[in-house]
Amino acid sequence: MTTELMSRFILQRPFVPFEIVTVGGRCIEVRHSDFANVEQFVTAMTILDDKGRSQFIDTALIVSIRTLEPMP
């Protein structure tokens, strides 16, 4: 998955919640743009959960992104 495509989901306005699916089948929800960031020069996506914990996901391991609500 490209960082440009992931950035489009994070930066779109109005924001639409989405989830990423990893190559292993793991689904990770992103409910607000404040909880995700894609690094420009590092191929990783940073996601914060509702408890403030962070995880770094290699963008090469992301196989799809799907919205959790209809897009406007």
Question: How many other CB atoms are there within 10 angstroms of residue 14's CB atom?
Answer: 7
Q: Is residue 72 part of a domain?
A: no
Q: Is residue 8 part of a domain?
A: yes
Q: Looking at the predicted structure, is the pLDDT value of residue 15 above 80?
A: yes
Number of folded domains that form the chain: 1
In this prediction, residue 19 carries a pLDDT of 95
Mean pLDDT (whole number) for 16-41: 91
Q: Is residue 51 part of a domain?
A: yes
Residue 54 lies in domain? 3-67
Mean pLDDT (whole number) for 40-63: 87
Q: Is residue 45 part of a domain?
A: yes
pLDDT band at 13 (very low <50, low <70, confident <90, very high): very high
CATH of the domain at 37: 2.30.30.100
Rg of the Cα trace of the chain? 11
The string of pLDDT tens digits covering residues 35-45 is 999 877 778 88
Q: Is residue 19 part of a domain?
A: yes
The string of pLDDT tens digits covering residues 61-72 is 999 999 999 887
